[in-house]
Structure 1
Amino acid sequence: MAEIVQRLWRHFARQVPFGMQAPEFFAELAEQAPVVRFDGMWVISGYDLVTRLCTQPGFPMAAPVFPEAVHRDNPQFVRFFSSTMSVRAAEEHQRLRSVLTGAFSGRRLAALRDRIDDVVAELLAEPLRRGEAEFVGELATPLPARVTAVLLGVPPADREFVTERATGMMNQLAAGFLAETHPEAGPPITAAEFAELREYVTGLLEQRRAEPAEDLIGHLAGSYQAGKLSAGEAVDMVLLLFMTGLDTVTAALANTLVVLSERPEIAAALAADPACADRVFAEALRLRTPVAFGSRQVAHDLSVGKLHFKAGDTVILAFAAANLDPRKFEAPLEFRWDRPITGNVAFGHGSYYCLGSALAGMTALSLLQAVHDRLPTPSRPLAELPWRASLAFPTPRVLPVTFSPALAESGAR
């Protein structure tokens, strides 16, 4: 146990990416050290305890701590992100969350599938023509942003603008809150750009108040008119939704490709039967969870089982380790078709379970099924891929790929 704890501490202290060895490390952590305590910080890796703490009201999401430079250069972004639904107190979080619940119903999302397929086809057209792509930058990054724009009801002419600004917000978050920078990500959003985006969103909400529409911005405009949201909360929620899922879905798609590249037999099964894409995606996310950790702040002294938490303690929930806990998942490092699709914590659990998880799954299925007989494979050895520096996202930073010939073209059919 001592060795795995020392390795964990080295990763935290030095911000060393987990890289290709992430699953092996997290499986070992869950088995050998399901609870680790440093000075004022806990790392919880066991599945049962992670899911239990996710449902405890005394563990709200930790508020972000931005460096002074971000406060100085982009104070409105700091104010916005520091007051979002994610970091509100439990009662406020639930109030705001309840406004969105109906908007992510299965019926509403199913109605978007054809439009998501159109977005996927548009993004794939040029890479498939070339037979190659940088998967993260050309596909996995813009895809969730464009799908979110479709869900919200952003006019097609404005989707490129929104995608660019949403990426800029994520870059600001990564550079400030997560202390991660890399040239491929592009620049953080500036104060002027953020002000422009906020004004744009305000205009969209006003337009929907005057001309109601069956999209998510229309839904939020109606909630504002009904008194369920303030005007500022409605704007903030749209801005948050621009960002929500971007890094998570980007990492999920890239990690799924890594899992398929590691296991050619799974890729062959998907190529033969695109209907199995949902199982491929679920098991890939369990093996290589896109968001490794979630952070919580203990609201007051409390005990959970034999563990005693003090007010102000930071609790790191290791979702990536919980998904590889052998007490929950037999032979956790194996890809198994017979595992339930639900049950892993790749999208969190409990009060903060990702509302957009179903949309993320639909987006992934659309992409996997679109390329099932032309699956992209890394054009350089997996061991040589550069990985993101943020420990929260154990995923490739860039992923150059080539597309195999379609089965029909190669005479396999």
Structure 2
Amino acid sequence: MTTRAPAPVLPERYLLSPDMIADPYDHLDALREQAPVHWSPLHHAWLVTGYEQVMSCLRDPAVSADRVRPLMDAVPQGAREDAERAFGILSRWMVFNDPPRHRRLRRVFQEAFAARAVARYRAFTEKATRAVLARKAVPSSTGDLMAGVAKPLPALVFARWLGIPPTDGPSFWYWNTRVADLVLGTAQEESEYRASLQALVSLEDYLGALVARRRAEPGDDLISQVLREGRVGDSVSEEEFVGMLTQMAFAGGETTSNLIANTVLALLTRPDQLAAVRAEPELAQGAVEETLRLDGPSKMSIRTAARDLDLDGRTLRAGDRIFLVTAAANRDPARFPDPGRFDVRRSGATHLGFGFGAHFCIGAALARLVAVAAVRTLVCDHPGLTLADPGGLTWQPSLLNRGLTALPVHY
């Protein structure tokens, strides 16, 4: 039987309750202060909230990233018959694999995701940013920045980068939205699970056909680049490659959309920081990095103890679930001076907004490129940009993601 440490004085709070979805930070700060490694009976998981403790887990091979089985366990019984192929696809996502397989899968994309390779898309990203804003951010108008800018802009860039023909865009992004519901835990009803599972299968079928097309007709895109390097069929199978492409398709848009919206919200609610970016547009990079630290698009990642381990005086048993709460670790005062302050000029300690080590987000350079271009253009070219409904903002009910449902603004 697993030995649990005594619970802290702090009362248990359900992380998916409406008040915690709206603002989890006070509770997470208190939890980190009292018990940075805490067994939560309510979540049946360890909540790891201290920076050093999260880093220790990210470095420890005993802490496994394989969580496909828990995802499948959450599927309603009536939808299980649809799940076998879909979860086979998820098992090929490198984010759900440990070394050495994770390392082998990741190496296939390493060159394509390098900063110098991503920089080739800077001109296209800036052109796409201007085009989206010209249509959706008309001066003196009011609109939903999330729906009008934060979602379509990454979609344009990521589709171009993957080589998705514009005519295929609507289906491609519909499948991605449904896959996000499955992976991020927002699918609740059996019908929603069935739609998400089928979308993942449809996405794989589509990308498999696109790989075949790019073999015959190479282009200037990620798929063509990787095929030219000759690793598909050598270090990874075609099935593994297509499975990983479904991860690439899912991961980029959702994270980057939320990063754009969260950064704009952070600036619009802090006039001094907004003024700093407008005076020095290069500080848009600092604004994006500070958002990743203070209120980023990812609240936590889920791991499993592959074997017994000790962490900060607690004994974690093989099979235990572990929530690595980077949203709390990124506000640890032992690591970040004045951690609750949003400072676009902050330097020093490395935040964990994109993870760390072997599982550091492979698409971080592209996400940063798109987010910085969007934020810089929005705040610098739209001097009248203000929140239209500051008190009416709501957040997506997700354990993992931190994303607004909408961001109404005056342009």
- What is the CA–CA distance in structure 1 between the aligned matches of 2:275 and 2:188, rounded to whole Å? 36
Q: Spell out, residue by residue over 1:166-185, the C-alpha distance to the aligned partner (whole angstroms, 9 max, x if none).
A: 223223434xx44468xxx9
- What is the CA–CA distance in structure 1 between the aligned matches of 2:178 and 2:335, rounded to whole Å? 38
Query: Is the 8 Å Cα contact of residues 298 and 314 (structure 1) preserved in structure 2?
Result: yes
- Counterpart of 2:225 in structure 1 is 219
Instruction: Label 1:90 to 1:198 Cα distance change in 2 as closer, same or farther (>3 A).
Output: same
- What is the CA–CA distance in structure 1 between the aligned matches of 2:346 and 2:102, rounded to whole Å? 32
- What is the CA–CA distance in structure 1 between the aligned matches of 2:237 and 2:265, rounded to whole Å? 43
AA aligned to 1:199 is D
Match of 1:151 among 156, 161, 166: 161
- Counterpart of 2:406 in structure 1 is 398
- Map residues 22-171 of structure 1 onto 2, 5 A cutoff: 22-39=24-41, 41-61=45-65, 62-63=67-68, 64-65=71-72, 66-67=74-75, 68-73=77-82, 75-129=84-138, 131-171=141-181
How many angstroms does 1:74 deviate by? 5.3
Query: Is the 8 Å Cα contact of residues 19 and 395 (structure 1) preserved in structure 2?
Result: no
How many angstroms does 1:338 deviate by? 4.0
How many angstroms does 1:159 deviate by? 3.2
Choose 356-365 or 38-47, whichever is displaced more.
38-47
- Counterpart of 1:246 in structure 2 is 253
Q: Spell out, residue by residue over 1:10-66, the C-alpha distance to the aligned partner (whole angstroms, 9 max, x if none).
A: 223x53353553343333333333121134521111101111210111111122234
Q: Spell out, residue by residue over 1:92-131, the C-alpha distance to the aligned partner (whole angstroms, 9 max, x if none).
A: 1111011111111111111101111222223222222262
AA aligned to 2:57 is L
Q: Spell out, residue by residue over 1:316-364, the C-alpha distance to the aligned partner (whole angstroms, 9 max, x if none).
A: 1110000000100111111234422760001111221111111111111
- What is the CA–CA distance in structure 1 between the aligned matches of 2:265 and 2:204, rounded to whole Å? 37
AA aligned to 1:215 is D
Query: Is the 8 Å Cα contact of residues 7 and 39 (structure 2) preserved in structure 1?
Result: no
AA aligned to 1:34 is P
AA aligned to 2:47 is V
Q: Spell out, residue by residue over 1:211-231, the C-alpha distance to the aligned partner (whole angstroms, 9 max, x if none).
A: 334421113334454512211
- Map residues 171-186 of structure 1 onto 2, 5 A cutoff: 171-174=181-184, 177-179=185-187
- What is the CA–CA distance in structure 2 between the aligned matches of 1:211 and 1:394, rounded to whole Å? 39
Instruction: Label 1:314 to 1:171 Cα distance change in 2 as closer, same or farther (>3 A).
Output: closer
TM-score (norm: length of structure 2) = 0.87
- Counterpart of 1:205 in structure 2 is 211
- Counterpart of 1:410 in structure 2 is none
Match of 1:5 among 2, 10, 23: 10
- Map residues 319-358 of structure 1 onto 2, 5 A cutoff: 319-340=326-347, 343-358=350-365
Instruction: Label 1:378 to 1:2 Cα distance change in 2 as closer, same or farther (>3 A).
Output: farther
- Indicate yes or no: 2:307 matched with 1:297: no
Instruction: Label 1:283 to 1:103 Cα distance change in 2 as closer, same or farther (>3 A).
Output: same
* Number of matched pairs: 392
AA aligned to 1:139 is V
- Counterpart of 1:409 in structure 2 is none
Which runs of 5 or more structure 2 residues have no equivalent in the other structure?
1-5
AA aligned to 1:57 is P
* Secondary structure of 1:10's aligned partner: coil
Instruction: Label 1:103 to 1:343 Cα distance change in 2 as closer, same or farther (>3 A).
Output: same
Q: Spell out, residue by residue over 1:240-294, the C-alpha distance to the aligned partner (whole angstroms, 9 max, x if none).
A: 1110133322222221122112201111222222111001111122111221111
Query: Is the 8 Å Cα contact of residues 92 and 240 (structure 2) preserved in structure 1?
Result: no
- What is the CA–CA distance in structure 2 between the aligned matches of 1:307 and 1:400, rounded to whole Å? 45
- What is the CA–CA distance in structure 2 between the aligned matches of 1:394 and 1:75, rounded to whole Å? 29
* Secondary structure of 1:401's aligned partner: strand
Query: Is the 8 Å Cα contact of residues 305 and 319 (structure 2) preserved in structure 1?
Result: yes
The percent identity for this pair of structures is 28
* Secondary structure of 1:227's aligned partner: coil
How many angstroms does 1:306 deviate by? 3.0
Query: Is the 8 Å Cα contact of residues 245 and 360 (structure 1) preserved in structure 2?
Result: yes
Instruction: Label 1:197 to 1:41 Cα distance change in 2 as closer, same or farther (>3 A).
Output: closer
- What is the CA–CA distance in structure 1 between the aligned matches of 2:399 and 2:268, rounded to whole Å? 22
- Map residues 260-275 of structure 1 onto 2, 5 A cutoff: 260-275=267-282
- What is the CA–CA distance in structure 2 between the aligned matches of 1:35 and 1:218, rounded to whole Å? 45
- Map residues 281-320 of structure 1 onto 2, 5 A cutoff: 281-304=288-311, 306-320=313-327
TM-score (norm: length of structure 1) = 0.86
Instruction: Label 1:4 to 1:81 Cα distance change in 2 as closer, same or farther (>3 A).
Output: farther
Query: Is the 8 Å Cα contact of residues 41 and 314 (structure 1) preserved in structure 2?
Result: yes
Query: Is the 8 Å Cα contact of residues 283 and 336 (structure 1) preserved in structure 2?
Result: yes
Instruction: Label 1:33 to 1:257 Cα distance change in 2 as closer, same or farther (>3 A).
Output: farther
Query: Is the 8 Å Cα contact of residues 180 and 389 (structure 1) preserved in structure 2?
Result: no
Query: Is the 8 Å Cα contact of residues 17 and 390 (structure 1) preserved in structure 2?
Result: no
Instruction: Label 1:69 to 1:400 Cα distance change in 2 as closer, same or farther (>3 A).
Output: farther
- What is the CA–CA distance in structure 2 between the aligned matches of 1:30 and 1:305, rounded to whole Å? 12
* Secondary structure of 1:250's aligned partner: helix
AA aligned to 1:388 is Q
Instruction: Label 1:196 to 1:325 Cα distance change in 2 as closer, same or farther (>3 A).
Output: closer
- What is the CA–CA distance in structure 2 between the aligned matches of 1:4 and 1:288, rounded to whole Å? 26
